[in-house]
Amino acid sequence: MFENLTDRLSQTLRHVTGKAKLTEDNIKDTMREVRMALLEADVN
Give the three-class secondary structure for 43. Answer: coil
Q: What pLDDT is stored for residue 41 in this prediction? A: 87
Exposure class string for 5-34: b at 16+ Cβ within 10 A, else e: eeebeeebeeeeeeeeeeeeeeeeebeebe
Mean pLDDT by 10 residues, the chain (44 residues): 88 87 92 92 73
pTM, rounded to two decimals: 0.76
